[in-house]
């Protein structure tokens, strides 16, 4: 999809709709069976992201953690009614490579069907919790193709202890093709610099690094490589009022609470400086 202003590609804006405690860093302190015991802030924070997007006139893709959709179907309907794409982040936010193929299939099938029942439209896209499509979950794209997905956005071409496939392709490509059906992968965006892939995509990288780093990387991707980028954000990342918990995270540290109060302003600049569309439109699937 060409940018009508300067010919640069239009980027994909994405939101992983999960609550402040539904993240891998909190697995040990707030396990899945306890989720209902914690204050839910996902609906109001998602509304805040919707307001930001409305202000900028941008549309994006919301990868909804479907456990939340069961409890807050109204927010899913508001996302769709505002012209954004509804996709899924799975049901229970379990790391893909820690599940069997059958467990993964059950989680994603339930997630997809629940969302389709709420919005009355097919769900085309999936994003794995913690980008956990790695060499250890090489079977996962086959499951997505079986379930009728058209695209995935779970591969992060970086080296990290929790996720990453440093040798994976950096821009959209067909990850599986069978019986005339294709599953397209939209990898999380990186900048190739001095022989390494630097993470760019959003989330903690957006909160921790200065805005000018993100702008530099996005411009390199759009102008030099002529490729679309994907940016991702979580609703809790613009919520400085969320409860404070002690967590060391799976890596031995956690960036969860860094710059929560500054992220909304960065997002506003990003939405002003670049053009965005839902992922299905960027991939020309709609």
Which residues make up the interface to Zn ion (CB under 5 A)? 16, 18, 129
Distance between CA atoms of residues 153 and 172, nearest Å = 9
In the block, tokens 């710059």 appear at 259
Nearer to Zn ion, 91 or 149 (CB): 91
CB of 3 to Zn ion, least distance (A): 29
Q: How many C-beta neighbours within 10 Å does residue 14 have? A: 28
CB of 15 to Zn ion, least distance (A): 10
Q: How far is the CB of 17 from Zn ion (least distance, A)?
A: 9
Which lies closer to Zn ion via its Cβ, residue 16 or residue 85?
A: 16
Which tokens belong to 274?
């670049």
Nearer Cβ to Zn ion, position 205 or 222?
Answer: 205
Contact 96, 107 (CB under 8 A): no
Residue 82's Cβ-count burial label (10 Å; 0-12, 13-18, 19+) is: middle
Minimum CB separation from Zn ion for residue 20, in Å? 11
Angle (nearest 5°) at CA 251 between 162 and 140: 15
Query: CB of 88 within 8 A of CB of 125?
Result: yes
Residue number with CB closer to Zn ion (18 or 185): 18
Q: Do residues 85 and 280 touch, judged by C-beta distance below 8 A? A: yes
Cβ closest to Zn ion, residue 19 vs residue 275: 19
Residue holding tokens 């960065």?
Answer: 266
Question: Measured in whole angstroms, how far is the alpha carbon of residue 19 from the centre of its chain?
Answer: 13
Closest approach of Zn ion to the CB of residue 120, in Å: 25
Cα-trace Rg, the chain: 17
Shortest distance (Å) from residue 193 CB to Zn ion? 26
Q: Based on CB atoms, which residue is closest to Zn ion, 15 or 168?
A: 15
């Amino acid at each position: 999809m060409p940018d009508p202003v300067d010919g640069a590609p239009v980027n994909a804006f994405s939101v992983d709709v999960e609550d402040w405690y539904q993240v891998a860093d909190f697995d040990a302190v707030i396990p899945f069976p306890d989720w209902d015991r914690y204050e839910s802030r996902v609906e109001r924070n998602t509304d805040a992201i919707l307001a930001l997007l409305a202000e900028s006139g941008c549309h994006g893709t919301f990868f909804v953690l479907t456990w939340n959709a069961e409890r807050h179907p109204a927010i899913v309907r508001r996302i769709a009614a505002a012209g954004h794409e509804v996709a899924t982040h799975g049901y229970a936010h379990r790391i893909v490579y820690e599940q069997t193929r059958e467990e993964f299939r059950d989680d994603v099938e339930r997630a997809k069907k629940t969302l389709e029942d709420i919005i009355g439209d097919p769900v085309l896209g999936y994003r794995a919790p913690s980008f956990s499509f790695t060499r250890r979950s090489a079977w996962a794209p086959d499951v997505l193709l079986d379930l009728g997905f058209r695209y995935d956005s779970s591969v992060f071409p970086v080296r990290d202890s929790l996720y990453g496939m440093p040798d994976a392709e950096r821009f959209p490509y067909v990850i599986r093709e069978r019986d005339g059906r294709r599953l397209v992968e939209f990898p999380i965006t990186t900048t190739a610099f001095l022989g390494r892939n630097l993470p760019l995509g959003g989330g903690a990288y957006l909160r921790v690094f200065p805005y000018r780093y993100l702008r530099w990387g996005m411009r390199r991707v759009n102008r030099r490589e002529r490729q679309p980028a994907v940016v991702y954000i979580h609703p809790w990342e613009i919520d400085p009022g969320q409860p404070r918990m002690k967590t060391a995270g799976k890596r031995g540290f956690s960036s969860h609470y860094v710059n929560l109060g500054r992220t909304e302003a960065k997002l506003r600049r990003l939405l002003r400086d670049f053009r965005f569309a839902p992922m299905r439109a960027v991939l020309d699937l709609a």
